[in-house]
Each structure stands twice: as structure tokens, then as C-alpha cells.
């Protein structure tokens, strides 16, 4: 099991990834997601991360990581290089999302995407009643100091997948402490999707 | 052999406890008659003496050996204190007890490259065929030739597989060459501030370096050994080198525009501190490094090319793990060259880590930026040596 203090999304991704698979984690941070997978499931992991401190932390954990920008880092990989390409909490920081997802689907059999839901009811409340940009548990930043450049809802992402011919094979909607079943676009803080190319 | 290795590590009060202590360069001769080194140029070379030092102890199954590879003007004296000239090894901050290359755990070997002038056979050695210095009769050598010679030294120790090959600059090239020539013998490679191949800019600098040596009238077509080194040419060559090893910023920090006196001297004697520094470094180098070796080794690194399929041939995979490090202010071996190595490794699905460290020291950073390099190398080696500690405190 992954450590309990680790986020719900990490636990879900941990359970999705098959043992001994090849995994590329885009925006792997300090390797908190990859480390338990390598330790327990003996996956072949590669992280990509830009932050200096995070890189050092990954190496401390024994992880292999490239210091690089996600948007420039995928080009060289041959097709089907990985079983999973993970974009957890990093897609919203990417400018050319369609290119990155397209490349991720090219080099990975499955793509796992996790992102904060902008249509969460507290976000809607902040915007509608308070007239202010939302600050929530999954979108904790103030407008002038956020790494996020893309703000999307669960429905937005589903539309995107339909338009780009991407198949959603699994979907998980996360609230504060557990998964959400009812009206996820309203009640989920985060979503995790497993994607493949449409055949 | 083990007792022999232990014997030379006597304690010395002048060195702090975190140092290896006194070390002594050893010599091993290979490539005797009938067993000469076949060089890439097609020529043969033998016998060949290799100067080397070792630190730490080789374990019973010989699985903890690390080969450290030196840069252009380096030597076998990588760590500890040499009583011969009271010098401390060129990577002393990185090799020793509890350091990046931890001699409590690993057996570290460093040997002088062939073509060099620090104890290994090179143009300043005596040619057994003539009884005179080789000078320009010395055959051209390549980075691959250097590595083939090192391989014989590793064989002499009975080491089948190295835990790691590691080096900066030309040392990084040798590490890549090891992977290319003997992939099954290298568990991991640490390649710092290096490249797959020299760019035209790097070749250009080396050509200016060579021309400044050869333009010195006392170079005598390389046959200067009876008369002494072509000091002027060699020291100018080294000045050029030192400019390329630093960065604009590190030179500003180190010298700024400071002068000997407040007023201009209105003369050509060195007055700016940067001028004095270059003169000092140049002359110092001319006293300790053979001019012909500089010519041969610069040529060897200009020829070096691991691009395309040279590092990993088509259809092959490597199990070697890589740690690639570059420095932001290094303009002699810019980060893009390390990133080119990374791109190549990605294409071939090699297990690799790349980190670009912040440093203002330019190319020199690989010798002086200790803390971050230590963290990276220490943990990288640990993972290579031990794998994951499944039953550790994180294990369930």
C-alpha cells in the first residue's frame, strides 16, 4: 500500500499501475507517486521534472529523473515506450495540452491524467456569489501566483477526449476524503482518467 | 594485493580525518611484445605503462569497483595526499570516507590516460625501439584507445564488472566510451559537463591551443626534450584553456577589473588581476605538463564522436544506468550537449537521470561544486549498488 498521508489520487494511481510495468511520470515532483510503485511493484520508472530541489529529492529516493520541461521532453521517445504515461496534477500547468496528451498517447499504451476540477461547487460558489476567483483544496493558489495556466472542468475534459478521439477507459472522481459518485462535475475536487487511443 | 593496497594508506596528521591520507601512485605495465595495444589509427603500441592510484578496498566478489576518469590535464592522483609533491588529488572533495565516492564502501581506481605525461606512456616516454623520447613518433591515440588500455588494468585487478565509470569533461567522454566499448562491464556511468562529440567551437579552441604550442620556435617539431618545454606556447595554450573553463560571471567575481595599482601602468606587463592569474596559470602549467601530450590529447577529444549509433549500436540495449550532470554557466560544454546525451538515451530506453546544476563557475564547476554533485552521485551509486531497500523503514 502507498503511504496513507499521500493524497487520494496517489492511492488510486498506485492501484491502477500494474507490477513491473514501464512508467513515465510527467511532472513527478519529489517522486512521491513513483517511489512506492518502484518499491512495492518493481515498476521501471522514469520521472520528468523541472524543479531543482525536487530533482535532488528524486535522486535521494533512488529514482531516475530528467530535468526537463514536460512540453519539450516527449519528442525523442519512440512509439509505445511505456505502459503508462502519468500526468498527475501537471496537465493544468502545460500550455499545449493537446500536443502533450497526443505525444503521451503515442509513447504510452495508457495515459493516466489527474487534474483539479474547476467546476467544483465551492469554486462555483466563490465565483457566483463572492465574485472572486476560486481558491479550493485542489486549486489552492491565488490568481497572481499560480503555476496553473489551464482551468478545466470534468465535462470540459470529456468533451476534449471525444473531440480528439481519445478513449476514456477508467474514471475516478475524488472528493475531500473519498471518491464521489453523485454529479462529479459538481462535487469532485479532482478527477483521474485512464486514457487510450481509439482503435 | 589487498594488503598491499592497505599498506599505502598510512595516516597522516596533515590531512583531516575525512581524507584518504597519504597515497602513492602505482605503475602497471601492459601490452608487452606480441600483446601490443591495437590502436584505432591502425598502429600498435607497446609496452604501455599505466600510472594509477586506488582508494578503499575491493570487496570479496569484486562488485564495488569504481573507475574515475580524469579530464584533459588530470592524472592518476585523484584523491588523498601525495608526498612526492605534497599535492592533494584533483577530486579529493569527491573521493574519500563518506564522500560522494565513499571509500568506506567502494574501491576507487583512477589511472592516467595513455598519451598523457603523468606516469602513463605518452609522447614524452622513452621509445624502446630508439631509446629516445617518442615525441611525434608517438602514434595518434583516441579516447577509445585510452579506454582499451584502462580495460587491461581492470582485468589485472580481476574485476569483471565495474560498479561505475565516472568523470567530468574528457573524463565523461571516457565514461561514454566505456559504455560503447564494454557495455557488459559497466553497471553505471556518471557523465559530468561532457558531450557526445566536440562542436566546431570546441575543435576551434583546441586548434588555437595546438597552434600556439606549435608556433613556439622552441617546440622543434616536437623534439624539444633535450632543451626543455616550449614554455611560451604551452602557457598561452593553457591561458586559452583557463578562459574557457571559467564564466563571465565567475571572472567578474574573481577578478573584476582590479589592478596591481590604482593607476594604469601604460605598459604591457600584466597589471589586471585577470592577466596575472592567466600568466601564473600558464607558466605553472608549462612546468608540469608535456606540450606534446597536450597536442595528442586535444586531438583525441576532437576525434571523439559517440553520436548516432556509436554509443549504443542498432538493435542493442544497455543495462547501464546513467547519471548526466551539466552546469548552467558552462559555455565550453554547454548543457545542450548533455541534453543531447539524454535525448540519445531516451531513444534507446536507457535508465538515466539528468540534472542541470546552478553554478556560476563555468566548466570548472565539476571540480568545485561539491555539495549538489555529492548528493546526486552518492544516492545514484547507492541505488546502483544496493537497489531498493524493500525491508527498510518504508517497507510494508
pLDDT in tens, A18-65: 999 999 999 999 999 999 999 999 999 999 999 999 999 999 999 999
Give yes or no for a contact between A154 and A119, defined as CB atoms under 8 angstroms apart. yes
Inspect the interface and report whether the beta carbons of B351 and A64 lie closer than 8 Å. yes
Q: How many degrees, rounded to 5, is the angle at CA A192 between CA A189 and CA A198?
A: 140
Task: Point out the domain boundary residue: B249, B282, B299.
Answer: B299
- Grid cell of B242 as nine digits: 583557463
* Residue B85 included in any domain: yes
Which portions of chain B are predicted below pLDDT 50?
1-16, 389-396
Q: How many CB atoms lie within 10 A of CB B396?
A: 10
Is B333 found in the same domain as B286?
A: no
Q: Please tell me the number of Cα atoms within 13 Å of B184 on its side-chain side.
A: 2
Domain membership of residue B391 (yes or no) is no
Closest CB from B347, B354, B358 relative to A66: B354
Count the domains in chain A.
1
B363 is catalytic: yes
The verdict on A78 touching B (C-beta cutoff 8 Å) is yes
CA nearest neighbour of B91 among B182, B188, B189, B192: B192
| Cross-chain Cβ contact A59/B379 below 8 Å | yes
Identify which of B104, B115, B4 has the alpha carbon closest to the alpha carbon of residue B381.
Answer: B104
C-alpha distance from A59 to closest chain B C-alpha (Å): 6
The catalytic residue among B133, B145, B363, B364 is B363
DSSP-based three-state secondary structure for B83: coil
Cβ within 8 Å, pair B353-A62: no
Give residue A108's domain range: 8-118+150-197
CATH number at residue A29: 3.40.50.150
- What is the pLDDT of chain B when averaged over all its residues? 93
Using the CB atoms, write b or e for B273-286: b if 16+ within 10 Å.
bbbbbbeebbeebb
Whether residue B277 sits in one domain with residue B150: no
Chain centre distance of CA B190: 12
Nearest CA in chain A to B390: A39
Q: Give yes or no: B330 in active site.
A: yes
Residues B30 and B145: beta-carbon distance below 8 Å: no
Residue B394 lies in a domain: no
Q: Which A-chain residues 126-145 have CB contacts (< 8 A) with chain B?
A: none
Report which of A78, A81, A28 is spatially closest to residue A54, judged by C-alpha positions. Answer: A28
- Identify whether the C-beta of residue B173 lies closer than 8 Å to the C-beta of residue B194: yes
**Do B187 and B217 fall into the same domain?**
no
- Read off the C-alpha cell for B320: 547501464
Identified catalytic residue from B125, B169, B212, B338: B169
C-alpha distance across the termini of chain A, in Å: 33
What is the pLDDT of chain A when averaged over all its residues? Answer: 93
Helical H runs in A87-153?
A: 97-107, 121-128
Do both B165 and B283 map to the same domain? Answer: no
Task: Return residues 11-70 of A near B (CB < 8 Å).
Answer: 35-36, 38-40, 44, 46, 52, 55-56, 58-68
CB atoms within 10 A of CB B316: 10
Which triple of cell numbers denotes residue B201?
A: 567551437
Shared-domain flag, residues B217 and B150? no
Instruction: Count Cβ atoms within 10 A of the Cβ of residue B207 and give its class: 0-12 exposed, 13-18 middle, 19 or more buried.
Output: middle
Phi-psi region of B101 (alpha: psi -120 to 50; beta: other; left: phi over 0): beta
Cell of B109: 581506481
Residue B395 falls inside a structural domain: no
Rounded to the nearest angstrom, the minimum Cα separation between A55 and chain B is: 7
Domain hosting B243: range is 203-299
Of B83, B93, B19, nearest to B364 (Cα)?
B93
Closest CA to B175 of B322, B381, B348: B322
- 8 Å CB contact of A39 and B390: yes
Helical H segments across chain B, by residue range: 2-7, 143-156, 170-181, 200-214, 231-245, 248-254, 273-288, 291-303, 335-347, 365-368, 371-386
Residues on chain A touching B355 (C-beta within 8 angstroms): 55-56, 59, 65, 67
The one catalytic residue among B212, B330, B335, B364: B330
Give the Cα separation of B334 and B307 in Å (integer).
16
With 0-12 / 13-18 / 19 or more C-beta atoms within 10 angstroms meaning exposed / middle / buried, residue B259 is middle
Number of CB atoms found within 10 A of residue A86's CB: 29
Alpha carbon of B310: minimum distance to chain A alpha carbons (Å): 17
CA distance B349 to chain A (A): 7
Structural element, H or E, at residue A13: helix A8-16
pLDDT for position B171: 98
Q: Within a domain: residue B393?
A: no
Of B346, B351, B395, the CB nearest to A76: B346
**Distance between terminal CA atoms of chain B?**
43
- What local confidence, expressed as pLDDT, does residue B388 receive? 55
| Minimum-distance CB partner of B342 among A60, A63, A66 | A66
Measured CB to CB, residues of chain B less than 8 Å from chain A are 321, 339, 342-343, 346-347, 349, 351-358, 372, 375-376, 379-380, 382-383, 388, 390, 394-396
Q: Distance, in angstroms, between A50 CA and closest chain B CA?
A: 9
Report how many domains make up chain B.
2
Indicate the residue of A39, A60, A78 with minimum beta-carbon distance to B379: A60
pLDDT of A10 > 70? The answer is yes
In 3D, which of B339, B278, B308, B318 has the Cα closest to residue B184? B318
pLDDT of residue B219: 98
Q: Which of B146, B111, B171, B150 is nearest to B377 (CA)?
A: B171
B47 and B136, same domain (yes or no): yes
Regarding whether B147 and B123 lie in a shared domain, the answer is yes
Q: Which of B299, B322, B344 is the last residue of a domain?
A: B299
Residue B93: left if φ>0, alpha if ψ -120 to 50, beta else—which one?
Answer: alpha
E-assigned strand segments in B41-163: 44-45, 48-55, 65-69, 81-82, 87-88, 95-96, 101-102, 107-111, 126-127, 132-133
User: Does one domain contain both B215 and B356?
Assistant: no
The pLDDT confidence band at residue A6, using thresholds 50, 70 and 90, is low
Which run of H or E residues covers position A54? helix A52-60
Interface test with A, best of B318, B355, B371 (most A CBs within 10 A): B355
The CATH number for B214's domain is 1.10.1740.110
Question: Are residue B243 and residue B321 in the same domain, yes or no?
Answer: no
Query: Which range, A45-49, A71-75, A130-134, has the best average confidence (pLDDT)?
Result: A45-49
In a domain, A78, yes or no: yes
Would you give the DSSP letter of residue B267?
S
**Closest by Cβ to A39, choosing from B342, B355, B394:** B394
Contact predicate A107/B377, CB 8 Å: no
User: Do B74 and B148 belong to one domain?
Assistant: yes
**Which positions in chain B touch A2 (Cβ < 8 Å)?**
none
Residues of chain A with pLDDT > 70, as a percent, come to 97
* CATH number of residue B109's parent domain: 3.40.50.1820
Tell me which residue in A56, A61, A77 faces B376 most closely, judged by beta carbons: A56
- Nearest-Cα distance to chain A for B74, in Å, is 28
pLDDT at A125 over 80: yes
B29 and B81 in a common domain: yes
> What gap in Å lies between CA B31 and CA B49, rounded to an integer?
9
Give the sign of the dihedral formed by CA A139, CA A140, CA A145, CA A146.
Answer: negative
Inform me whether the pLDDT recorded for A4 exceeds 70: no
Q: Which residues of B touch A67 (CB under 8 A)?
A: 354-356
Dist. CA B108–CA B128, nearest whole Å: 31
pLDDT per position as a tens digit, B222-267 = 999 999 999 999 999 999 999 999 999 999 999 999 998 888 889 8
- B125 with B38, same domain: the answer is yes
> Which residue of A59, A77, A83 is the best one to mutate when testing the B interface, meaning the one whose CB has the most B CBs within 10 A?
A59
- Chains A and B form CB pairs within 8 A to the count of 61
Amino acid at each position: 500500500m502507498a503511504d496513507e498521508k499521500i493524497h487520494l489520487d496517489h492511492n488510486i494511481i498506485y492501484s491502477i499501475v500494474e507490477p513491473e510495468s514501464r512508467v513515465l511520470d510527467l511532472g513527478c515532483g519529489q517522486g512521491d507517486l513513483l517511489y512506492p510503485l518502484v518499491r512495492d511493484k518493481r515498476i521501471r520508472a522514469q520521472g520528468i521534472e523541472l524543479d531543482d530541489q525536487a530533482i535532488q529529492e528524486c535522486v535521494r529516493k533512488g529514482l531516475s529523473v530528467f530535468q526537463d520541461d514536460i512540453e519539450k521532453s516527449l519528442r525523442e521517445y519512440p512509439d509505445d515506450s511505456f505502459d503508462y504515461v502519468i500526468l498527475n496534477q501537471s496537465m493544468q500547468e502545460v500550455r499545449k495540452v493537446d500536443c502533450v496528451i497526443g505525444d503521451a498517447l503515442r509513447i504510452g499504451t495508457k495515459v493516466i491524467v489527474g487534474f483539479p476540477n474547476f467546476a467544483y461547487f465551492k469554486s462555483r460558489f466563490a465565483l457566483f456569489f463572492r465574485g472572486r476567483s476560486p481558491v479550493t483544496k485542489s486549486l489552492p493558489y491565488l490568481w497572481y501566483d499560480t503555476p496553473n495556466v489551464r482551468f478545466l472542468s470534468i465535462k470540459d475534459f470529456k468533451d476534449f477526449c471525444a473531440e480528439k478521439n481519445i478513449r476514456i477507459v477508467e474514471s475516478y472522481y475524488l472528493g475531500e476524503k473519498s471518491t464521489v459518485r453523485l454529479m462529479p462535475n459538481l462535487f469532485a475536487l479532482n478527477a483521474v482518467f485512464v486514457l487510450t487511443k481509439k482503435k | 594485493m589487498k594488503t598491499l593496497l592497505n599498506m599505502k594508506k598510512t595516516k597522516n596528521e596533515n590531512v583531516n580525518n575525512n581524507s584518504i591520507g597519504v597515497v602513492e601512485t602505482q605503475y602497471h605495465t601492459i601490452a608487452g611484445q606480441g600483446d601490443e595495444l591495437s590502436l584505432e589509427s591502425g598502429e600498435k603500441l607497446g609496452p604501455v605503462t599505466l600510472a594509477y592510484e586506488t582508494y578503499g578496498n575491493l570487496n570479496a566478489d569484486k562488485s564495488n569497483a569504481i573507475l574515475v576518469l580524469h579530464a584533459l590535464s588530470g592524472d592518476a592522483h585523484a584523491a588523498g595526499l601525495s608526498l612526492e609533491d605534497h599535492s592533494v588529488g584533483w577530486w579529493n572533495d569527491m573521493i574519500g570516507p563518506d564522500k560522494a565516492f565513499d571509500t568506506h564502501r567502494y574501491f576507487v581506481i583512477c589511472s592516467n590516460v595513455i598519451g598523457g605525461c603523468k606516469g602513463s606512456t605518452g609522447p614524452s616516454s622513452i621509445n624502446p625501439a630508439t631509446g629516445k623520447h617518442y615525441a611525434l613518433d608517438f602514434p595518434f591515440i583516441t579516447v577509445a584507445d585510452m579506454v582499451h588500455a584502462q580495460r587491461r588494468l581492470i582485468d589485472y585487478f580481476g574485476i569483471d564488472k565495474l560498479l561505475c565509470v565516472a568523470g567530468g569533461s574528457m573524463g565523461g567522454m571516457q565514461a561514454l566510451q566505456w559504455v560503447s566499448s564494454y557495455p557488459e562491464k559497466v553497471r553505471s556511468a556518471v557523465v559530468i559537463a561532457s558531450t557526445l562529440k566536440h562542436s566546431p567551437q570546441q575543435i576551434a579552441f583546441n586548434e588555437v591551443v595546438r597552434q600556439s604550442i606549435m608556433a613556439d620556435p622552441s617546440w622543434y617539431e616536437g623534439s624539444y626534450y633535450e632543451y626543455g618545454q616550449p614554455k611560451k606556447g604551452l602557457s598561452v595554450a593553457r591561458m586559452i584553456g583557463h578562459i574557457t573553463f571559467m564564466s563571465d560571471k565567475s571572472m567578474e567575481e574573481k577578478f573584476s577589473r582590479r589592478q596591481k595599482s590604482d593607476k594604469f601602468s601604460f605598459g604591457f606587463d600584466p597589471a589586471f588581476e585577470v592577466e596575472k592569474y592567466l600568466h601564473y596559470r600558464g607558466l605553472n602549467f608549462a612546468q608540469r605538463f608535456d606540450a606534446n601530450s597536450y597536442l595528442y590529447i586535444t586531438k583525441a577529444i576532437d576525434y571523439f564522436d559517440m553520436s548516432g549509433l556509436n554509443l549504443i549500436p542498432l538493435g542493442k540495449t544497455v543495462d547501464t544506468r546513467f547519471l548526466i550532470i551539466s552546469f548552467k554557466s558552462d559555455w565550453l560544454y554547454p548543457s545542450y550537449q548533455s541534453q543531447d546525451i539524454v535525448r540519445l538515451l531516451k531513444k534507446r530506453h536507457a535508465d538515466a537521470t539528468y540534472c542541470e546544476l546552478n553554478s556560476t563557475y563555468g566548466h570548472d564547476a565539476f571540480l568545485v561544486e561539491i555539495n549538489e554533485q555529492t548528493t546526486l552521485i552518492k544516492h545514484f551509486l547507492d541505488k546502483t549498488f544496493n537497489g531498493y531497500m524493500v525491508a527498510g523503514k518504508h517497507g510494508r
